[in-house]
Amino acid sequence: MGRVQDKVTIITGGARGQGESHARLFAAEGARVLITDVLDEAGEAVAAELRAAGHDVEYRHMDVSSEADWQAIIAEAEQRWGRVDILLNNAGIVGSMKSVEDEPLDSWTRLTSINQQGVFLGLKHGAPAIERSGGGAIVNTCSINGTVGNPGGFSYQASKGAVKMMTRAAAMEYAHRGVRVNSVSPGLVMTPMAEEEGEESNREFSEATPMKRAAQPIEVSYAMLFLASDEASYVTGADLFVDGGYTAQ
């Protein structure tokens, strides 16, 4: 316990799924957590439950594609706790899962504004705040779909490939400034987002995975925790696969 004790942590997309799991684990490990999302009822409920358990957790509405929202969230964290130590760029959507030819421009724009622009803005405003605090870590949620190509889901794969390279580029920019930047690439994780893909799709994905199962959100959360903690003090620019061996094939 206490692996991120008193570290001020911002988690985007923290109202449900992987983000909720991250928030619960980081709070249990001593972090002061600011959860952000657009799912206000769910986000408020998670924060209230964690506060009732004695943790220092707040929830705020946030559109990660909005630079003004990012500036406000960073300012609030610094005003409330005096610092920002950790940022988990977790918010993301799957989108239409259509091919290159079938993807409407407005669908592409919406998805990339959240999955790619949201991470860019998190890096742009989060990294300087962490540097001001004396150093810390940013962990971006990537995906195996940022490494392997599949038919369909063109926009999603493009956005996750961008996240991987933004992670590496930012890691080089901030390596000498005390801010480590890494990413985690999960395979299939049983979250509400995955359930929306349908039972048959999830079964096929599981069968294609060497471990023959999907991950539980907590299994991804522990990878995020390691990279965000001081245990990973010499790790930057890395992409950690949490995929049951999928990309090792």
CATH ID of 8-231, from 3.40.50.720, 3.40.228.10, 3.40.50.10900, 3.20.20.140: 3.40.50.720
pLDDT at 200: 84
Residue 185, strand partner residues:
241
Q: Which of 59, 156, 174, 246 is catalytic?
A: 156
Cite the DSSP H helix spans in the chain.
17-28, 40-52, 67-81, 105-115, 117-132, 154-174, 192-195, 199-208, 217-228
**171 to 1, 174, 242: CA distances (angstroms):** 28, 5, 20
Average pLDDT, 10 consecutive residues per value, the chain (249 residues): 96 98 98 98 98 98 98 98 98 93 96 98 98 98 95 94 98 98 96 76 91 96 98 98 96
HSE (side-chain half, CA atoms, 13 Å) at 173: 13
What is the value of pTM for the model shown?
A: 0.96
Q: How many residues does the chain have?
A: 249
Report residue 138 as tokens: 């940013």
pLDDT at 201: 81
Residue 180, strand partner residues:
137
pLDDT at 1: 82
pLDDT at 199: 78
Q: Name the residue ranges covered by the structural domains of the chain.
A: 8-231
Active site (annotated) includes residue 156: yes
